[in-house]
Amino acid sequence: MIDIETQQELATLYSDLAANDLQPLWTQAKELVPFIPKPATLPWLWRWQRLSELANRAGELITVERGGERRVLLFSNPGLNGRPFATPTMMATIQYLNPQEKAPAHRHAAGAIRFVLQGDGVSTTVNGDACEMHPGDLIVTPNWTWHDHTNAGTEPVIWFDGLDDPTGLALDAIFFEPHVDYTQQIERPFNVTTRTYGGRGVLPLGTVPTLQTPLYLYHRQDVDEALNALLEVSGGPMVSVQYINPTSGRSALPTLGCEMHRIVPSGATKPYRKTGNSIFVVYEGSGYTVINGQRFAWHKGDVFVVPSWAIVEHQAHQVSDLFAVTDRPILAALGLFRETTLDQPQQIIGHFAPK
Amino acid sequence: MIDIETQQELATLYSDLAANDLQPLWTQAKELVPFIPKPATLPWLWRWQRLSELANRAGELITVERGGERRVLLFSNPGLNGRPFATPTMMATIQYLNPQEKAPAHRHAAGAIRFVLQGDGVSTTVNGDACEMHPGDLIVTPNWTWHDHTNAGTEPVIWFDGLDDPTGLALDAIFFEPHVDYTQQIERPFNVTTRTYGGRGVLPLGTVPTLQTPLYLYHRQDVDEALNALLEVSGGPMVSVQYINPTSGRSALPTLGCEMHRIVPSGATKPYRKTGNSIFVVYEGSGYTVINGQRFAWHKGDVFVVPSWAIVEHQAHQVSDLFAVTDRPILAALGLFRETTLDQPQQIIGHFAPK
Amino acid sequence: MIDIETQQELATLYSDLAANDLQPLWTQAKELVPFIPKPATLPWLWRWQRLSELANRAGELITVERGGERRVLLFSNPGLNGRPFATPTMMATIQYLNPQEKAPAHRHAAGAIRFVLQGDGVSTTVNGDACEMHPGDLIVTPNWTWHDHTNAGTEPVIWFDGLDDPTGLALDAIFFEPHVDYTQQIERPFNVTTRTYGGRGVLPLGTVPTLQTPLYLYHRQDVDEALNALLEVSGGPMVSVQYINPTSGRSALPTLGCEMHRIVPSGATKPYRKTGNSIFVVYEGSGYTVINGQRFAWHKGDVFVVPSWAIVEHQAHQVSDLFAVTDRPILAALGLFRETTLDQPQQIIGHFAPK
Amino acid sequence: MIDIETQQELATLYSDLAANDLQPLWTQAKELVPFIPKPATLPWLWRWQRLSELANRAGELITVERGGERRVLLFSNPGLNGRPFATPTMMATIQYLNPQEKAPAHRHAAGAIRFVLQGDGVSTTVNGDACEMHPGDLIVTPNWTWHDHTNAGTEPVIWFDGLDDPTGLALDAIFFEPHVDYTQQIERPFNVTTRTYGGRGVLPLGTVPTLQTPLYLYHRQDVDEALNALLEVSGGPMVSVQYINPTSGRSALPTLGCEMHRIVPSGATKPYRKTGNSIFVVYEGSGYTVINGQRFAWHKGDVFVVPSWAIVEHQAHQVSDLFAVTDRPILAALGLFRETTLDQPQQIIGHFAPK
């Protein structure tokens, strides 16, 4: 027990520290350096039915124009104190574009990916290369590439966006610039980066590795074939691919991992945890995922978040494809990626009931 | 102008979005994707006189023991809402160890660097390798290496710590483990990693590149020689070196850049800005730095912060050595590093008056 | 002029050097370190008509069995003093396999590529993965992979082989091992490496870069599409792709570059020279190539060699595809790759007349 | 047994193949793809006494001037048919420079290293950087760097050169250019690359990895310290370091490995074999090396060759330092490096008796 004089001196010390913009570590060591990650991010799920209904209403009420730039709904994880982010590292949105609408050209230091959920007829122009977007396609717009979206079709189109924007903001490194024109000139034939950089095992002679992918459009069909091949070999219940930068074999973007997981109805996947966040988008099928003991049922179009170090098991009712965007490349680059599998399945302690 | 009915529908839409954990982008696009970085972090400076006085008082009142683990004062940047961090990406502290004191052995996923300011006689043991610490030396304890500190000398020792802990917390990837013993066994001769991995241009045969440096102790003298050589060639007013991982030539840690800048009194450095934060520690000399128009006078032992994208000019009154710890390797790895020099010197709009 | 005594002393010195297994440099400096490369390798061309005729005769007279291992005809460059190599760095052959024949399983430290010229029905099994071979396909058998060939079809099959064997011999690093069985067990579905590693921009999650490609079969159709896309953008007269290791974006093998060049009949390519050898195989079309002023007319199936630093111009009479195997990755890895284009077309000083 | 008609057809086939610059593989498969490496290179040793005596005589009889360029004696391995190379991949020489002599400036695509054996007072200027040479120092002149040598001292100087010239010749990629002046201007302070790039764990801020080292001078003392430190940890009988490119942690040159091995008199090293050649230069001490059962006694200044895949054991009579230049980086880059240790010491089957 410390005497009164010491107590007073301590109180004065703490007060003087505060007055000098200093703080003691020893009173808060456990919060600053926890034994294991304690994410504020909550496991969460958004139903497609609600997402598409709200996106449709936004489509009627909101115009797409300079300033607002995009008609997108931001997933706001309830654990993050009202911040408009799905996870502390990733911004995720549902984007809606009416027939004949165009979203204006700009560029930003945030890298982005777009995964098409519904509708045909949109193309995204990336640095002058027009990329057609069909359901299941992935379009990538790396850091500081010009991009705009045009719906030349006859139906509304909805896609999912993932951005590293919160990471860029946390690093105070986000820049933004509107293009001088509302949309870019299309300078080359449609989808040409896919045909030049997306070939099977071939690249233009003399290509050198780059940090950001020169391939902007990844076709659904190619992912489908790769998953089928992996299933032929492994048998299931889950096979997984990542979308890569073909010049390096590494993640398409240095800040966002893009993955597709195919789960077949042959039992649950082994309980697994890793550092870093994942946002899953159900492209096809139905099933459920147990996250830290809570059961999340999912169907086509649903979006759900798995926080860092949460224990995860997937189980499909039918063959299901889960697209995922993650911050895994960041954790790997910084030496912070860890993963492990567990022997025992989780005990179910609750069912998530989305709004 | 929109009619009342539409206004009502909009209000209902916003309300329904909120109820479904969604937010519109178009009302907050500029905050989420700013034209240029707008750091909350303030340029700030802490005087050595106050730091050492407060550290001494902590040295009398606080014991070093398990639980609190370390007697360190955390720099708390006034722009960061009371969070105990110098910048959003880095934790910086002043650590104080009395003669015959030992700070207990632990490891954590946060990487750390220690730069010695005052006193002799401390050694830090890193994974069984004891590293002696003298003023101007840098000791590195990479992610998940065991480390403890022992003051075997007769005087208190003060050093500066830099940690990537806020980055690890933001990524929900911090782990911590206390060692089973209060301090580690010393397994090899003192400073042996410096002699094996720190030689000039030689490495053990068969060494392969690693993400984290196997070299834990960098001597002041070697940095001094390199700076002298660069001055011989360039003439000044500033030359700069980085502390590297000798197995790869890259930053010693993937999350923290360690730099030493020597500034000679031959005019101001060219105005310069870069993305990412820097924390400077004045190792020797005196002078001032203009940050976004505000003049920060500095002397030996002072610590100051330069936020991302701030414009910086240094000027020395005498030959001065500024140690810096930065988040530059993160920005580079993620494709977010930008730097530029400006032609015109800044106009001075104020003088920083520290407490 | 040197006096007689010195002449005698010099003669004695040269004699004593020789007796001690030493040689003077100063008498042979220009041969040992020439101003520019002086390849012994001759530009040369082999006609398909002769190749296929001789291969057919070998097919009748020679059996494929252990010991001889393969029924292949080695291209023997007339500049290389009877050595059975197309260039000092590459062994090139025409391989012939009759219906129902099998070439036995073995492995060697020489990396090899096989480019199919005629016939269907062969599959090559590489480390248990069966790869079907159709005209225009490339099959790669990296260093120390088990491989055997089976013609399950009804017609003879002819393909072109390229091996780095002379490089491995020059480095005294060739090993060979026959498989315990005549042919390997096929362990996975046919062509599965192509479907798993050869997808457009996708790889199995968690793939790490390797020096040797895990993708063994490259389809003609994918190369064709990539060339078409490059032509759309560049317009011609020549576009070029390389076959890559998808885990790294680098050359499929570290010792052999595989390339496909499409030349359209819109004039000659710009005169070009590079360090390193190329062996061209005419897959489709006809035209001619000027090499150091000598004109080489070529047609489907012909094989020709371009030595290091030779000046090269190609011209096609119709759309033509030239497959090439080169030592370019070696030159690049060792810092010895140079290339340049020339402004003036070459003057024709002769026509090559093959036997 | 084959009938006469077939024999005649075979003979005609072989004749027709030869007439068409083709050869059969099946008659020479074992030579072209041997079970294990069968180097023509012989293990060999040259005595310092003879080397220095012959170098001195050359010093009296031969002048150093343009054209001959250098007064060097080439080691000519008796296994290599009179070619003036120590191994198929490396040219090795003894170079001799009289007081006040200068060897003229030139550059070549061959990379070179120089290891000083006797004398002081020489400096080598590499791309304008003068590097002083003292016994035990290593000076590196990468591919295509200008270099000249000046003996400003009062005694003759002898050093050992290693060049990758045979590799460059085999790749037909050697270029040579004499400097417009006899010697270069010295543009920066002496030894400045060592002080800027050779610091312990520090590099100029912003340094990016390069294929060739920017550090040209490696001091004996630094190697000595590193070897001592390794001995402190391992205990012997042998510790080994490599000279690295500090920007990458890789071999100083991409074509030549430079190593120093310290052997202490505590028994023989474990029998070891690797692919690739080594040339050893005895810098200090005495002992012997058993190579494929043959015993090579060595003393200070002796030079000996270990061919690829030879079994090697070293044993020192006193603390001995063996410098080695090897082709190991080439084998590693091309995926051809293998190494293994054997359990049983070799049986001695002979003693090498040099001339």
Sign of CA dihedral A102, A103, A106, A107: negative
Locate the chain A residue with the closest alpha carbon to B48.
A20
| Domain annotation covers residue A164 | yes
Cross-chain Cβ contact A223/C202 below 8 Å: yes
Which residue blocks in chain B are alpha helix, DSSP H? 4-19, 29-32, 48-61, 165-170, 192-197, 220-234, 328-333
Nearest to B172 among A17, A37, A167 (CB): A37
Per-residue model confidence as pLDDT tens digits over B1-34? 578 888 999 999 999 999 999 999 999 999 999 9
Per-residue model confidence (pLDDT) at position C355: 65
| Domain annotation covers residue A113 | yes
Give the pair of three-digit tokens for residue D227: 């070897």
Give the pair of three-digit tokens for residue D343: 């359990």
Per-residue model confidence as pLDDT tens digits over B192-214? 877 777 666 888 898 999 999 99
Cross-chain Cβ contact D23/C84 below 8 Å: yes
| Domain annotation covers residue B185 | yes
- Measured between beta carbons, the chain C residues lying within 8 angstroms of D6 are 61
ipTM: 0.96
Cβ–Cβ < 8 Å for B109, B144: yes
CATH code at position C222:
2.60.120.10
- Measured between beta carbons, the chain B residues lying within 8 angstroms of A72 are 24-26
The yes-or-no reply on A/B contact (3 CB pairs or more, < 8 Å) is yes
Nearest to D35 among C28, C58, C175 (CB): C175
Q: How far is A170 from chain B (nearest CA, A)?
A: 7
* Position A265 pLDDT exceeds 70: yes
- Measured between beta carbons, the chain C residues lying within 8 angstroms of A262 are none
* Position A140 pLDDT exceeds 90: yes
> By C-alpha distance, which of D109, D37, D30, D28 is closest to D331?
D37
Contacting partners of chain A (3+ CB pairs under 8 A):
B, C
**Mean pLDDT of all residues belonging to chain B:** 95
Question: Where residue A201 falls among pLDDT bands split at 50, 70, 90?
Answer: confident
**C-D Cβ pairs (cutoff 8 Å, strict):** 265
Contacting partners of chain D (3+ CB pairs under 8 A):
B, C
Cβ–Cβ < 8 Å for A248, A210: yes
- Measured between beta carbons, the chain A residues lying within 8 angstroms of C228 are 195
Cross-chain Cβ contact C50/D20 below 8 Å: yes
Find which of A196, A212, A221, A245 to mutate to test the C interface (most C CBs within 10 Å of its CB): A196
What's the gap between Cα A328 and its chain centre? 10
Backbone angles phi, psi at A29, to 5 degrees: -60, -40
Locate the chain C residue with the closest alpha carbon to A192.
C229
Per-residue model confidence (pLDDT) at position B68: 85
| Domain annotation covers residue C11 | no
Distance in angstroms (rounded) separating the CA atoms of residues D9 and D165: 45
Paired residues of B162 in beta bridges: B92, B113
* Position A355 pLDDT exceeds 70: no
| Domain annotation covers residue A13 | no
Give the pair of three-digit tokens for residue D18: 């030869």
Give the pair of three-digit tokens for residue C264: 């359209």
Number of CB atoms found within 10 A of residue B28's CB: 13
Alpha carbon separation from A41 to A302, A304, A306, B88 (Å, rounded): 18, 12, 9, 18
Per-residue model confidence as pLDDT tens digits over A267-318? 999 999 999 999 999 999 999 999 999 999 999 999 999 999 999 999 999 9
Number of domains in chain D: 1
Find which of C8, C9, C10, C25 to mutate to test the D interface (most D CBs within 10 Å of its CB): C25
Cβ–Cβ < 8 Å for A219, A139: no
Nearest to B212 among A38, A60, A335 (CB): A335
Cross-chain Cβ contact D241/B202 below 8 Å: yes
Q: Which domain holds residue A278?
A: 44-201+213-351
Cβ–Cβ < 8 Å for C324, C304: no
Write a three-state SS string for A96-139: EECCCCEEEEEEECCCEEEEEEECCCEEEEECCEEEEECCCCEE
Cβ–Cβ < 8 Å for C55, D116: no
Per-residue model confidence (pLDDT) at position C80: 98
- Measured between beta carbons, the chain D residues lying within 8 angstroms of B259 are 205
- Give residues with Cβ within 8 angstroms of A212, minimum separation 6: A111, A142, A143, A145, A245, A253, A254, B335
- Give residues with Cβ within 8 angstroms of A53, minimum separation 6: none
Distance in angstroms (rounded) separating the CA atoms of residues D209 and C157: 47
The yes-or-no reply on C/A contact (3 CB pairs or more, < 8 Å) is yes
Distance in angstroms (rounded) separating the CA atoms of residues C326 and D173: 14
Nearest to B223 among D197, D199, D244 (CB): D199
Distance in angstroms (rounded) separating the CA atoms of residues C292 and A244: 42
Whether residue D237 has a cis bond before it, omega within 30° of 0? yes
Nearest to A200 among C194, C232, C260 (CB): C194
Cross-chain Cβ contact D232/B192 below 8 Å: yes
- Give residues with Cβ within 8 angstroms of A198, minimum separation 6: A215, A217, A218, A219, A222, A246, C200, C201
> By C-alpha distance, which of A275, A256, A280, A272 is closest to A329?
A256
Residues of chain D under the 50 pLDDT cut: none
| Domain annotation covers residue B29 | no
Cross-chain Cβ contact B226/D202 below 8 Å: yes
Per-residue model confidence (pLDDT) at position A202: 84
> By C-alpha distance, which of D211, D213, D190, D191 is closest to D203?
D213
Per-residue model confidence (pLDDT) at position C192: 83
Distance in angstroms (rounded) separating the CA atoms of residues D353 and D296: 8
Give the pair of three-digit tokens for residue D44: 């060999």
| Domain annotation covers residue D2 | no
Cross-chain Cβ contact A189/C233 below 8 Å: yes
**Mean pLDDT of all residues belonging to chain D:** 95
| Domain annotation covers residue B24 | no
No. of H helices and E strands in chain A? 7, 26
Tens-digit pLDDT profile for chain C (355 aa)?
A: 578 888 999 999 999 999 999 999 999 999 999 999 999 999 999 999 999 999 999 999 999 998 889 999 999 999 999 999 999 999 999 999 999 999 999 999 999 999 999 999 999 999 999 999 999 999 999 999 999 999 999 999 999 999 999 999 999 999 999 999 999 999 888 888 777 776 667 888 989 999 999 999 999 999 999 999 899 888 889 999 999 999 999 999 999 999 999 999 999 999 999 999 999 999 999 999 999 999 999 999 999 999 999 999 999 999 999 999 999 999 999 999 999 999 999 999 999 987 6
A281 membership: H or E segment, kind and range: strand A278-284
Distance in angstroms (rounded) separating the CA atoms of residues C148 and A227: 28
Write a three-state SS string for C277-334: CEEEEEEECCEEEEECCEEEEECCCCEEEECCCCCEEEEECCCEEEEEEECHHHHHHC
Sign of CA dihedral A332, A338, A343, A346: negative
Cross-chain Cβ contact D196/B242 below 8 Å: no
Per-residue model confidence as pLDDT tens digits over A22-67? 999 999 999 999 999 999 999 999 999 999 999 999 999 999 998 8
Number of CB atoms found within 10 A of residue D12's CB: 12
Nearest to C225 among A199, A206, A242 (CB): A199
- Measured between beta carbons, the chain A residues lying within 8 angstroms of C269 are none
Per-residue model confidence as pLDDT tens digits over B78-137? 999 999 999 999 999 999 999 999 999 999 999 999 999 999 999 999 999 999 999 999
